[in-house]
Amino acid sequence: MSVVSSSVASPPARFRSPRASVVKTLIYVFSGIVIVYVLAPVVMLFLASVGLDSASGFNAERLTFDAYGDIPGRLIEAAGISIALAAATTAGALLIGVPAAFAIRGSSAAVGANLYAWFRLPIIVPQVVIGLALYQMLTLTPVGVQLVQETFLGMWFGHLVICTPYVISVVSTSIAGVKDSMFEASSVLGASRLRTYCFVILPLLRPAIFASGFFAFLISFDNVPISLFLAGAGTSTLPVELYFSVTLDLRPYIFAISTLIAVFALIASAAWGRMVGFRALA
């Protein structure tokens, strides 16, 4: 009967009996099924975009990349709008969120916890409610109606309010990780508070700032509920266009552009995993 097992030297106790190897196989099979389940829609998107679906009987000869060339101008335009909006949202979220994170960490624990909860509110409230409420408020006045229909400002506002909490969350956690000795050493060496924050602490926070900015970009780019309410006729974002086309007009180029977005997201997550690591999101 084994009592002590080093996890490096000898195989763990659980894998010594024949019955345990059945369990091990089951675990592998289970993981395999989960992986297939998780990847299935993405793979299917790609297959559909190159013409491989049941309608054509999965005929490899029907494989064609035509759909990628067919993507209409309005979708490309919408993609551009989405990117510009996401960039503007990221800039705003960082400018507003990073100082707020500093303020949270510069407060006492109780006050900081309350502030933190307050800033997390926009993540908790369902986006449909946020979008609808903003739309209702903005369209009370004719000026507001014009604002919503012709500019991005309404959407930008809505995206900003849901993205800033992520910046505040990630950056304030990162600030908590900066040792007090950094502040002390800097001030002992003669730097003023402002210099300390700008030239010592901020560079240390670069991964967190980048990561949270990236997150904000992604959330803004992908957003449907808020953009649905606040997009005007000429300012529709890509996800909203996709949402409408799904119900009205499902063509191969929809799959093509969806695959492109999915590939972009996968690459982005690989970069994220390399640079920051996913356990940081736990």
Partner 1 sequence: MKLSTGARGALLAPAILLNVLALIIPAGFFLTSAFRENAGFGQLGGFSMDALVTTVTDPFMLGLFGNYLVTLLIITLGCTVIGFPVCYVIARSRRWGGFVLNTIMAVSFVSAIVMTIGWLTLLGANGPIASLLSMVGVQEVPPLLNSPFAVVIALIHVELHFMVLACLPSVMQVSRNLEDAAMGLGASWWQTMMRVVLPMSLPGVLAGGLLVMATTAGAFTTPAVLGGQRVPWVPVFIERQANVAFNYPMAATASLFLVLLVVGLTMVANRFASRRKRRAKRSPDTSVV
Asked whether position 279 contacts partner 1 by CB under 8 A, the answer is yes
Task: Take residue 170 and report the two structure tokens written for it.
Answer: 């990630």
Asked whether position 213 contacts partner 1 by CB under 8 A, the answer is no
Asked whether position 95 contacts partner 1 by CB under 8 A, the answer is yes
Instruction: Show Cβ contacts of residue 93 under 8 Å, excluding neighbours closer than 6 positions.
Output: 160, 163, 164, 166, 167, 212, 213, 216
H/E run at residue 215 = helix 206-222
How many Å apart are CA 94 and CA 211, to the nearest integer? 11
Asked whether position 176 contacts partner 1 by CB under 8 A, the answer is no
Tally the residues of the chain.
282
Contacts to partner 1 from residues 154-173, by CB under 8 A: 157-158, 160-161, 164, 168
H/E run at residue 270 = helix 252-275
Give residue 144's identity as a one-letter amino acid code: G
Instruction: Choose, by CB under 8 A, the member of 198, 202, 268, 275 that binds partner 1.
Output: 268
Asked whether position 136 contacts partner 1 by CB under 8 A, the answer is yes
| Chain-centre distance for alpha carbon 272 | 11
With contacts defined by CB under 8 A, how many residues of the chain interact with partner 1?
98
> What is the smallest separation between the CB atom of 77 and partner 1, expressed in angstroms?
17
- Please check whether residue 130 is in contact with residue 161, taking contact to mean a CB–CB distance below 8 angstroms: yes
Closer by beta carbon to partner 1, 48 or else 85: 48
Give residue 139's identity as a one-letter amino acid code: T
Binding span for partner 1 by CB under 8 A among 67-75, 141-149, 202-210, 219-227: 219-227
How many Å apart are CA 254 and CA 67, to the nearest integer? 8
CA angle 182, 188, 194 (to 5 degrees): 70
Site mask for partner 1 (CB under 8 A), range 29-68, x = bound: -xx--xx-xxxxxx-xx-xx----xxx-------------
Binding span for partner 1 by CB under 8 A among 68-76, 120-128, 143-151, 205-213: 120-128
The SS3 of residue 232 is coil
Closer by beta carbon to partner 1, 31 or else 234: 31
Asked whether position 189 contacts partner 1 by CB under 8 A, the answer is no
Instruction: Choose, by CB under 8 A, the member of 71, 91, 96, 145 that binds partner 1.
Output: 96
> What is the smallest separation between the CB atom of 150 and partner 1, expressed in angstroms?
19
Over its C-alpha atoms, the chain yields an Rg (Å, rounded) of 25
Asked whether position 228 contacts partner 1 by CB under 8 A, the answer is yes
Closer by beta carbon to partner 1, 95 or else 198: 95
Asked whether position 247 contacts partner 1 by CB under 8 A, the answer is yes
Burial class (CB in 10 A: 0-12, 13-18, 19+), 161: buried
Instruction: Choose, by CB under 8 A, the member of 147, 172, 231, 239 that binds partner 1.
Output: 239
